[in-house]
Structure 1
């Protein structure tokens, strides 16, 4: 892992930590206002919608779970844009794994999730 990757990977780790805490506000802290999340069966079109969906999920079916993202690759398109591929799993149960693509951008000295796409592995 290069030093250049460290802040990008920290964004993904932050999402995992917020998920484990069931904290929707912290979960979207590193998402851009106009971020999109595409998941099996639905699309969330901005940070506010992502926050609302995650708050409901953390209070319901995702309560007490954690999401582990294992970074497979980080590819920089330029100095301010990176594509990250993760193998991800929601536990429990341990059988819910996926492959995710994250597009992150460097803005005003910090990295933000611009787009997230998740599909079953």
Structure 2
């Protein structure tokens, strides 16, 4: 468990212009768990806005995103991929998920596991073929800011 606070979730989200969804945390209610879970909330907000810049800015400069068969290894690659998606096949889509697990690896690295998926434009819920589980590697930098170092998702079948 971290020895220093990871921050206040409400404050972190407000600083990024994200409205906090307190129901998102479910049973992960410690201050540090909630702080880590601001990262998935920021990603959900970027999807809702279809904003590739906001999406990419959640990642570290050398962040990694494995989405379907695409391995992206920098903020620039992530931004370009999401910009193309949001103006093409992902236009109007958003994601929703919920945490299944939060673990602290050391005082500056945590892993969250979530389940959820993509809600395509015109749909009101996650279609079975769009359900995923995701692993989020969240890092806390020297300034105390939280960023996404790595995100990997996998389809949930059956």
Normalising to structure 2: TM-score of the pair?
Answer: 0.74
For residues 2 and 73 of structure 1, the distance between their equivalents in structure 2, rounded to whole angstroms, comes to 13
Matching residue of 2:16: none
Normalising to structure 1: TM-score of the pair?
Answer: 0.95
Where is the strand percentage greater, Structure 1 or Structure 2? 1
For residues 69 and 55 of structure 2, the distance between their equivalents in structure 1, rounded to whole angstroms, comes to 21
Note the 1:65-76 alignment, pairs <5 A. 65-76=93-104
Q: Which runs of 4+ in 1 moved over 6 A?
A: none
Where is the helix percentage greater, Structure 1 or Structure 2? 2
For residues 7 and 28 of structure 1, the distance between their equivalents in structure 2, rounded to whole angstroms, comes to 19
For residues 35 and 145 of structure 2, the distance between their equivalents in structure 1, rounded to whole angstroms, comes to 8
Deviations along 1:64-96, one digit per CA (max 9) or x if unpaired, are: 111112111110011100001010210025221
Matching residue of 1:98: 132
Report the alpha carbon displacement of residue 39 of structure 1 after superposing the two structures with TM: 2.1
Report the alpha carbon displacement of residue 38 of structure 1 after superposing the two structures with TM: 1.2
Greater mean deviation of Cα atoms: 5-14 or 75-84: 5-14
**For this pair of structures, how many residues does the alignment match?**
121
Unaligned runs of 5+ in 1: none
Report the alpha carbon displacement of residue 100 of structure 1 after superposing the two structures with TM: 0.4
Report the alpha carbon displacement of residue 30 of structure 1 after superposing the two structures with TM: 1.6
Matching residue of 1:23: 51
By relative contact order (CA 8 Å, sep 6+), the higher-ranking structure is 1
For residues 15 and 33 of structure 1, the distance between their equivalents in structure 2, rounded to whole angstroms, comes to 16
For residues 76 and 30 of structure 1, the distance between their equivalents in structure 2, rounded to whole angstroms, comes to 19
SS of the residue corresponding to residue 16 of structure 1 reads helix
Unaligned runs of 5+ in 2: 1-28
